[in-house]
A and B are shown apart, each in its own frame.
Chain A
C-alpha cells in the first residue's frame, strides 16, 4: 500500500504560572527593555551557547533569539510582537527552526561573530521549521508582588523529510536537545 503524506501537525497548549516578589512594572520591564531582558533571558543554561539576540519591542517589531547546545543542533527563534499593554500583557507569535550545525560549525561561528543575516538564512535553509506558536505573557498584580502567566499555544510539525531519510536525523536532534536539558 502506498504511504500517504507523512506531514503531520500536533497542537498543544501549556501554561506556566509563577509569582515574583518584584512589582508588575519591574517584571514587565524585564521583558520589554532589551538590556534588562538580556540579563536573564540571554543567559544560556550550562552547556548551551551564548545566544544571538535582537529585539525591537513595539507592535509589529521582531525578536530573534538563536542558540542551542554547544555540541548539539542550532535552534533559531523569530517572534513578532502583536499586542503590548504596558505593565500588563505581551502577545507574540513565533517560528522555530532546528538546524544541524553545532557551536563549532563555521557557519554558526560566522553568524555568532557577525550577526550576518545571510548566515542566518543559510542556517534556516539547512534546518527544519519545527513549530509555529503564539505566546501570551500576562503580568498581574499579586499579594506581595507579581503573578506571571505564560501561555504557549503551538502547532508542532513533523514528518516532511521522512521519505528523504532525514527523519531519523531530526529525531536524533530532538533527542540530543532533550538530553542536554536533563
Chain B
C-alpha cells in the first residue's frame, strides 16, 4: 500500500488544528473569497487573518492571488490530493526499484563473495 508523504500532511493537520482556520476552509469550500470576505465573520484584525491564511497556504490547502488591490483565496484540497498521489507513486516506484536492486545485488553477490572482499 502507498504511504502518503508525511511532511505536507503534517502541515495540513496543523493547519486544520485551529478552529478559525477550519472555519476559513469551510467558507472557501463554498467558493473563492477575498481576504476581507474571509475575515468578515471573525472578530480579529486583517493581519491576524493574514497570519492564519499564511498557515493555510503553507499547508497547500489554500492558495491566494492578488488581482489589483484584492487578494482572492481559494481551496486547493483537490490539487493537494492529486499531487500527493503522484509523489506517493514516485516514491513507491523507487521503493520497488530498490527492492529489485537488492535482489540483483544479492544474486550477483553469490558469484562474487568467494573472493572474500569486504569493504
Contacts and interface: CB of A to CB of B under 8 A. Distances in A.
A174 B108 CA distance: 35
Given A10-B60, A148-B98, A181-B93, A24 B119 contact: yes
Interface string A131-149: 1010000000100111010
Contacts of B20: none
Interface stretch (B21-29, B42-50, B72-80): B72-80
Contacts of B17: none
Interface residues of chain B: helix, strand, loop or mixed (majority): helix
A145 B74 CA distance: 50
Contacts of B72: 1, 4
Nearest to A31: B101
Interface string A2-19: 011100101011101010
Contacts of A50: none
B87 A18 contact: no
A8 B94 contact: no
Interface in A14-47: 14, 16, 18, 20-24, 26-27, 30, 39-41, 43, 45
Given A4-B72, A27-B105, A156 B98 contact: no
Interface string A145-182: 11010101010101100000000001100110110011
25 contacts: A4-B72, A8-B63, A8-B76, A8-B79, A10-B8, A10-B80, A12-B7, A16-B91, A16-B95, A18-B102, A20-B102, A23-B119, A40-B100, A40-B103, A43-B100, A131-B86, A141-B119, A148-B98, A152-B90, A152-B91, A154-B87, A177-B85, A178-B89, A182-B1, A182-B2
